[in-house]
Structure 1
């Protein structure tokens, strides 16, 4: 277990219809997100995490704090794990993007890996910064690590580690509060599991308290 990295997506946030492109907007967890993180803590809270790291955005830090039981001030912020920079698309609905940037959404679909939103970054650039960050964290083998990031970041990282083209990264599921398990082996980071829920984690975690048993 010492060589494991638990890479999570943060819990749920508010993004009511019409859903908007959200990258670096610093939104907190909503009530569902808090519940998801607390539920996950029931399964992961007893793990002896040597380090607990997160993207600097509040939804990631809050998730890391709730899952680990540590105060937010104790969570290590890793700037290179911040969500994709959506530039001028940030906060816009799809309809607004199509009006303000005609043809750009279609262009994005034709080259998802390399397409860069106006003033933003591409998924290839996300992978280029996030993968080395995780590799650097993986050098600490003194205990399991908890890392909380974002859907775009996690999909880009998992695509690279699985040897899959970034053009297909949207096919990699990343639910709110999803758990991905990475193993630091002699050949580098390897993917052991993707998009797990807490009760599906393939390791012995916290036992339910007496009052929780059916």
Structure 2
């Protein structure tokens, strides 16, 4: 039997337009669609008892966690180490703008996805080194059901690590807005039971 089940969510939708952007530390609230996604998970997970509810300290993660955990009577634990990857000077800017203004750097990012750092930002390798120790501390000795609301990059590096996948493959892992990943933790280690689930 698992010692703990980790319900690892990506926060709900926070987009304000249809433009594809680099969204890291830009601190947007949930959109109406994102709130609806979180409320749907609140409904689907209402039968569970959560021993802990954990989120990053960015609004879109915090708001999702509050809505999903509504009625569970568990205080939110905000962990800054679970923030999304820092995109530095590219944060909030559109892919089209960066591709046009910095074509060489844009191409390098695609070719060196694990190690490329935008100016003033982090690489996915940097993100992994920040997130994995925080995740290990959170789950050490944990029992019961844990709700963890992360971000697309955060969740991808965690799942890559748990599956033994190299970071260069992280975008093979889907992480739609408001998706759920199911992870069982036991004395034998971790088992990923579901990835990018839109519903149970």
TM-score range, shorter chain: over 0.9
Equivalents in 1 of 2:147, 2:3: separation in Å?
Answer: 11
Match of 1:205 in 2: none
Q: Please give the per-residue CA displacement for 1:29-82, whole angstroms capped at 9, x wherever unaligned.
A: 1111111111111111221101100010011011111111159x9311011110
| Offset at residue 162 of structure 1 (A) | 0.8
TM-score (norm 2): 0.92
What residue is the counterpart of 1:135 in the other structure? 136
Give the corresponding residue for 1:211. none
Aligned length: 199
Long gaps (5+) in structure 2: none
Give the Cα–Cα distance (whole angstroms) in 1 for the partners of residues 17 and 133 of structure 2. 34
Within-5 A mapping of 1:1-214? 2-69=3-70, 74-198=75-199, 200=200
Q: Contact 1:24–1:86 (CA<8 Å) still a contact in 2?
A: yes
Per the alignment, residue 206 of structure 1 pairs with none
Tell me if structure 1 keeps the 8 A contact 2:7–2:146: yes
Tell me if structure 1 keeps the 8 A contact 2:13–2:177. yes
4+ long deviations beyond 3 Å: none
- What runs of 5+ residues in structure 1 fail to find an aligned partner? 201-214
The structure carrying a bigger strand percent of its residues is 2
Residue 26 of structure 1: CA displacement? 0.6
* Cα gap change, 1:65 to 1:2, in 2 (>3 Å): farther
RMSD between aligned residues: 1.9
Go from structure 1 to structure 2 and tell me whether the alpha carbon gap of 1:45 and 1:2 turns closer, same or farther (over 3 Å shift): farther
Partner of 1:204: none
**Scaled by the length of structure 1, what TM-score is found?**
0.87
* Maintained 8 Å contact 2:175/2:196: yes
**Distance of 2:11 and 2:136 partners within structure 1:** 20
What is the CA–CA distance in structure 2 between the aligned matches of 1:113 and 1:140, rounded to whole Å?
Answer: 30
**8 Å contact 2:53–2:148 — kept in the other structure?**
yes
